[in-house]
Structure 1
Amino acid sequence: MSPIHVLHGQPTPEELATVLAVVQARAAAAQAAAEAARRAGAGPASPWNDRSRLLRPAVRPGVNAWRTSGWAH
């Protein structure tokens, strides 16, 4: 773990211990979640389940774009 530097104020030892305990607990929870996902074999979502593919493609300006903007796709 990298060293912690207090930039402002003068925390008491109890306050500093509380902050460090919270940071350590969050890091442990994130590591446990990543390990559980790895064990479960959670890979990237299937492209078939990707809802963004149902959206219209992005409009790209180009030559005669104003003329073809009303055409049915």
Structure 2
Amino acid sequence: MDAEPLVRVVRGTPTDHELAALAAILAARSTSMDAISPPTAPSAWTMSARPSMRPLSWRRSALPR
């Protein structure tokens, strides 16, 4: 295996428990960054405050009713 390691200890001698904690933290951080969160839909309260916020609604606002 000629690949360079992703993580390297440059000072000190960590215990097995410390290395396991470091590996767990790095694994948790990498999975949360890779996950794509779904877009949140606007709440009913937000939509009631802006009922006419549709695409091009500003153009129709100038038309006679």
TM-score range relative to shorter protein: 0.3 to 0.5
State the TM-score, normalized to the length of structure 1. Answer: 0.42
Q: Which structure has more helix as a fraction of its residues? A: 1
